[in-house]
Structure 1
Amino acid sequence: MQAITNASVRIVSRWLPDAFVLAVILTLVVFALGMGVTQQTPLAMANYWGEGFSALFKFGMQMTLVLLTGYVLALTPALQAALNGLTRLPSTPRQALVLTVIVSFACYYINWGFGMVVGAILAREMGRRVTGLHFPLLVAAAYGGELVRGPSSSIPLVVATPDNFLSDLIGVVPVSDTLYSWWNIVLTLALVALLALLYLGMRPPSREIVEFRPDGNDANIQAEGKDKASTPAEWLERSRWPTLLLGLIALAYLLGSIASQGFNINLNTVILIFLTAGLLLHSSPAAYLSATEQAVGAARGIIVQFPLYAGIAGMMTHSGLVDAFSAAFVSIATPHTFPLLTFLSAGFVNFFIPSGGGQWAIQGPIMVKAAHAIGADPAQTIMAFAWGDGWTNQIQPFWALPLLGVAGLSARDIMGYCLIWLGVSGTAIAGTFIALSIFA
């Protein structure tokens, strides 16, 4: 395992460019594929790219706010104390790695945005406290749980909704047949065990360990505003009351929303929870803004690169490349092999359209219609698509950008380890669908 890991890390370190450069390369690859596979003109491909460019502006802003508000919350004295308490539990690097895997995996299962921020911050704090811990490996392990499909997974939730856009073909498929089927629960538990065991096996020898290097900014945040204010404006900036009152208003809205609609976790809810807690727990507006200033730097990858991936998705969609790739997989499928091929197909397309909901809207109808035509199991097809959509996120920097921003690492620092996990997790998921087809 160590030899395989070393080879993977060396290859990735040598050949994987910065995430921004990779996004540019993918843009050029899809541009060329559109001309070669679907016979589009260069001007048409450029137009498709431009039409898609702004498609992720809203989602990009949501992701930026998830990162910013979560990061700012983690820098409050109360959360720092809680994280310090959690990081005191492990006494060895191995224990720290396993604890990080379990906590981040559980948070990803609840909500991927929540897991992204919690996993990154926990890895950062664990690296700060536990000596002898290889920080890039720890961050990769925290990211490994991103592939899990939990109760906030959009695809099985959509098909479980009455009058969804595919209900004419497959009706309503309840989550008891998808997310909470016995085989999906077993697969989920197996993956968290495999994740912990694999990353324990990939720990490098002590001479190669790279520990966390703090940036030295965190300690100054709560010091903002401690000096005596000389003007009314400075008094307001350093007073507890403005952020406290605003936080109470936000809290009242959250509690009222939960009372009337139930606790429905989505990106907007996560952002509001993080914002509310940060406002209540920071000592003043000056302290909150100081923490925000530090967090902004971590969001630069999202701000710059999300529009590029939206342009790639626009070219994939409008050029017909998604249809062509999906049709190629469908043409060799049987009722028993279709879920497996759906998993592989979704994983492949996800690398170019890294958005679960967006990919399902584009590719989902193609796969569901094909499953209906050949008599494949709709629930297995849906979950195969959902797992495929999450699987290749492990080597797609798009989803790692928030975590890398908090950790202060680049994609090449963790992708060597993620590549190994891609192979292991893909084997486990594919093996599940193969077993289901054999014993069906």
Structure 2
Amino acid sequence: MNAVTHFTVWLMQRYLPDAFILAVLLTVVIMLMGTTLGGHTPFEMVDYWGKGFSALFKFAMQMTLVLVTGYALALTPPVRKLLDRLTDIPKTPPQALAMTALISFFGCYLNWGFGLVIGAILAREMGRKVQGLHFPLVVAAAYSAEIVRGPSSSIPLVVATPGHFMEQLTGIIPVTETLYSGWNLLLTGLILAALIGLYLSIRPKPESVISYEGHAESPNRAAAALQEPETFSEKIEHSRVMNYVLAVMPALYLAGYFMKKGFDLNLDVVILIFLLLSLLLHKHPMALLDAVKEAVVSSRGIILQFPLYAGIAGMMTESGLVMVVADWFIEIATPETFPVLTFLSAGLVNIFIPSGGGQWAIQGPVIIEAAKSLHADIPQTVMAFAWGDAWTNQIQPFWALPLLGVAGLSAKHIMGYCVVWLMLSGMVIGGVFLVLTFI
């Protein structure tokens, strides 16, 4: 395992370009595929790209705010103290890796956006405090936890919602048959065990260990903390009361939301929770704004690259390439192999359309029709698709951008480890779906 890992790390660090360059190369690849396999003209492909370019503007803003508010929360004095105590627990690099993977896994299980930010912040603090810890490795462990499918997984939630767009095909499939089925909970446990086991088994060469090189305290924040407000405007800017005044709004909204819907997390709710806690825990508005200033720098990858992937998704969808890929797998499927092939096809398309809900809207009807004609298990097909969508996120920089922004690394620093995790997790997930077909 270590030999394979060392090879993939060397390969990725030597040949994998920056995530922005990778997005550009994927754009070119899909353009060529659309004009050859899809039979479209270059002008048509450009039109599809342009129409898709703005499709993720809202999502990009949501992810930017998740990162910014989560980062700002991490810089509050109480959270910094909590992180200090947590990172005092592990004494060795393996212990730090296991703890980071475990906390990130449960964070991502609750909500993937929440888990990514919490995992990145925890990894950064582990890198700062644990001597001898290979920083890219602990960041990779935090990111690899994103594979888990939990209560915020869009696909099983969609098919469990009355009136969903495929209700005539599938009916209403309760989450007790998908997310919370016995076999899926077992798969979730196996994935957690495999995740921790993998990262405990990796031993970087001593000469290749990269330590965390960030700073514990921003010079701007340190200087601002020592400066006493003098003028009336400065006293208002440094008054904690102003934070509390604004905090009333998200506090009241969230109280009403949770009373009506229970513990139902989504990106908008996560953002409001992070904002509320940041307002309550920062000493004054200027401290919050200074933390946000640091966080915005980390969000540049999201702001620039999410629209590029939206353009790629637009070309894949409008040109029919998504259906071409789906048909390839359906043609060779049997009732026994259909869930596994669904998992693989979802994983392949996800590289180009990194959006579970959007991908399901395109592929879902064809996948379900094929499953019914083959008499394959529909709930298993739904979850095979959901796991496939998560599986190749491990090698898709699109989803790693928020975490990498917080950690201050590029994709090539962690991708070698993620490739190994892709292979191992693929065998675990694919193996479970193969076994299920014979039970």
Bin of the TM-score, shorter chain as denominator length: over 0.9
Residues 150 and 179 of structure 1 are in contact (CA less than 8 Å); yes or no, is this contact kept in structure 2? yes
Cα drift, residue 209 of structure 1: 1.2
1:57-79 CA-to-partner distances (Å, cap 9, x unmatched) read 00000000000000000000000
1:163-312 residue pairs with structure 2 within 5 A? 163-215=163-215, 217-218=217-218, 220-221=220-221, 223-224=223-224, 226-312=226-312
In 2, Cα distance between the equivalents of 1:122 and 1:218?
A: 18
Tell me how many residue pairs correspond in the alignment.
439
What secondary structure is seen at the aligned counterpart in 2 of 1:180?
coil
Structure 2 counterpart of 1:94? 94
Name the % identity: 58
Bigger Cα displacement from structure 2, 244-253 vs 184-193: 244-253
Structure 2 counterpart of 1:32? 32
TM-score (structure 1 length as normaliser): 0.98
Structure 2 counterpart of 1:337? 337
Residues 224 and 238 of structure 1 are in contact (CA less than 8 Å); yes or no, is this contact kept in structure 2? no
What secondary structure is seen at the aligned counterpart in 2 of 1:221?
helix
In structure 1, give the amino acid aligned to 2:92.
T
In 1, Cα distance between the equivalents of 2:287 and 2:231?
A: 18
Bigger Cα displacement from structure 2, 365-374 vs 126-135: 365-374
Bigger Cα displacement from structure 2, 356-365 vs 246-255: 246-255
What secondary structure is seen at the aligned counterpart in 2 of 1:133?
coil
In structure 1, give the amino acid aligned to 2:34.
G
Q: Does 1:82 align with 2:82?
A: yes
Q: Does 1:384 align with 2:408?
A: no
Structure 1 counterpart of 2:357? 357
1:329-358 CA-to-partner distances (Å, cap 9, x unmatched) read 111111121111000000000000001111
In structure 2, give the amino acid aligned to 1:379.
P
1:280-339 CA-to-partner distances (Å, cap 9, x unmatched) read 110111101100110001000000000000000000000000011101111111112111
Structure 2 counterpart of 1:369? 369
Cα drift, residue 276 of structure 1: 0.4
In 2, Cα distance between the equivalents of 1:265 and 1:368?
A: 28
1:262-293 CA-to-partner distances (Å, cap 9, x unmatched) read 22200000000000000111011110110011
Residues 49 and 312 of structure 1 are in contact (CA less than 8 Å); yes or no, is this contact kept in structure 2? yes
Cα drift, residue 423 of structure 1: 0.1
Structure 1 counterpart of 2:416? 416
TM-score (structure 2 length as normaliser): 0.98
Q: Which runs of 5+ in 1 are unaligned?
A: none
1:339-398 CA-to-partner distances (Å, cap 9, x unmatched) read 110000000000000011111111111111111222111001000000000000000000
Cα drift, residue 229 of structure 1: 2.3
In 2, Cα distance between the equivalents of 1:436 and 1:209?
A: 41
Q: Does 1:15 align with 2:8?
A: no
In 1, Cα distance between the equivalents of 2:122 and 2:220?
A: 20
Cα drift, residue 217 of structure 1: 4.3
RMSD: 1.1
1:140-171 CA-to-partner distances (Å, cap 9, x unmatched) read 00101101000110100110111211111111
Q: Which runs of 5+ in 2 are unaligned?
A: none
Structure 2 counterpart of 1:152? 152
In 2, Cα distance between the equivalents of 1:53 and 1:398?
A: 15
In 2, Cα distance between the equivalents of 1:167 and 1:259?
A: 28
Structure 2 counterpart of 1:70? 70
1:97–1:225: structure 2 CA closer, same or farther, 3 Å change rule?
closer
